[in-house]
Amino acid sequence: MNYENLPNHYDIEHIRIEPNIILAPMAGVTDSVFRRMILRLSGCGLVSTEMTNAASVSPKALKRHKLLDFLPEERPLTMQLSGNEPEMVALAAQQIEQLGADILDVNCGCPSPKVTGGGHGSALLKDLPKLSRLLKAVKAAVQIQSH
């Protein structure tokens, strides 16, 4: 395959991802300093926060853990939530939107027992009707792109 002819950007609705490289979310790694280092070293079209438990996304808790702190130069930025309760994740999604994220991502893949033990991450895939309710609640709660 000739990769040279691939476009160097793509769009998620109105958000341009250019270059077409994404820094994947990594818990314990992709904090604001790491994201800015990667942006300066190599350039990425989109960077992601670390996974953040929806239960800890209140103004008070955010001051304490600072997982969702970012600087304007990091945008476009996607924030990743983990959670299991549709209403709680939807409320956290509204906070995420207010913080200024461009995109919101609900983790449905983390296999760590610490995460799946609470029914988060890949455990969501065991109850697809509930996952559907959760994603619908999130989408209804915010205007930003959510998936």
Ligand X SMILES: Cc1cc2nc3c(=O)[nH]c(=O)nc-3n(C[C@H](O)[C@H](O)[C@H](O)COP(=O)(O)O)c2cc1C
Nearer to ligand X (CB atom), residue 15 or residue 51:
51
Contact 81, 67 (CB under 8 A): no
Q: What residues form DSSP beta bridges with 146?
A: 104
User: Hey, what amino acid is at 136?
Assistant: K
Contact 71, 103 (CB under 8 A): no
**Assigned token pair, 82:** 């983990």
User: In whole angstroms, how close is the CB of 52 to ligand X at the nearest point?
Assistant: 9
| Strand residue runs (E) in 27-122 | 46-53, 77-82, 103-106
Of 146, 14, 13, 29, the residue nearest 80 (C-alpha):
146
Which residues bind to ligand X, rule: CB under 6 A? Answer: 24-27, 29, 50-51, 80, 107, 109-110
User: In whole angstroms, how close is the CB of 131 to ligand X at the nearest point?
Assistant: 15
Nearer to ligand X (CB atom), residue 47 or residue 141:
47
Nearer to ligand X (CB atom), residue 14 or residue 89:
89
Contact 7, 32 (CB under 8 A): no
User: In whole angstroms, how close is the CB of 80 to ligand X at the nearest point?
Assistant: 6
State the catalytic residues. 110
User: In whole angstroms, how close is the CB of 103 to ligand X at the nearest point?
Assistant: 13
Nearer to ligand X (CB atom), residue 72 or residue 120:
120
